[in-house]
Amino acid sequence: MKHAATRALHAYWDRLRGGRSAPERGDLDPAAIRGLLGDVFLLELGGTDRYVVRLAGTRICALLGHELKGRSFLQPFLPEDWPDLYRLLDGVAAAAMPAVAGVVGETDDGRRLDLELLLLPLKHRGRTHSRLVGTLAALDMPYWAGLMPLVRLRLVSSRHLYDHPPTKDEAGPAPRRPPVAGRLRLLPGGRRA
């Protein structure tokens, strides 16, 4: 996770869930994350669009040039990315597996902006597969961001933060097991000075 808002929302979500697979929607306190709200969104699962935006922060709406509430979350993305996005969203919702993704936004005149997408599961009245909370944050804010809307988003990378649903034994800010990419296991390490 590269963006400060992404890391902060994940840490807050992780504290709220305690030993559960996901916190309740009612556990979220906007005052506790007021500095992040511009980059935060809330999705409702179900209906014809499957993932509908219930709330979207002001910075997200400014980047895209319009209000997102009531729209399909996939609408700004290129249609060829929708199958991968559905797999990612479905995995987060069904298995309570948080995910992070790299996204590139483009303006009509070809300007590009790198964004980070975080997806976290929520329970709603005890039901899983009901709500998601996340962030969509620009990794850099050039002078034109928010003035020239991003007209399309492309999914460029994604990964689940855990290789299995988080359990009580793994409560804390970071997963204890390294993430799995296909059949390869990523191990922390490297040279030490």
Indicate whether 168 belongs to any domain. no
pLDDT band at 183 (very low <50, low <70, confident <90, very high): very low
Indicate whether 104 belongs to any domain. yes
CA dist 18 to 14, 33, 36, 135, 165, Å? 7, 17, 21, 21, 13
**What would the pLDDT profile of 108-128 be if each residue is shown by its tens digit?**
999 999 999 999 999 887 677
CATH number of 148's domain: 3.30.450.20
Q: Structure pTM?
A: 0.80
Q: The tokens of 23 are what?
A: 């916190």
> Using CA atoms, how far apart are residues 147 and 161, in angstroms rounded to an integer?
33
Indicate whether 139 belongs to any domain. yes
Indicate whether 141 belongs to any domain. yes
Q: The tokens of 12 are what?
A: 């807050």
Indicate whether 176 belongs to any domain. no
Indicate whether 43 belongs to any domain. yes
* Average pLDDT score over residue span 2-9: 90
Q: The tokens of 190 are what?
A: 């490297």
pLDDT reported for residue 165: 57
Give the range of the structural domain holding residue 13, as residue numbers without chain letter. 4-21+37-162
- Looking at the structure of the chain, the number of domains it has is 1
Q: The tokens of 106 are what?
A: 């483009």
**What would the pLDDT profile of 57-107 be if each residue is shown by its tens digit?**
999 999 999 999 999 999 999 999 999 999 999 989 888 889 999 999 999
**What would the pLDDT profile of 145-181 be if each residue is shown by its tens digit?**
888 999 999 999 998 887 655 554 443 443 333 444 4
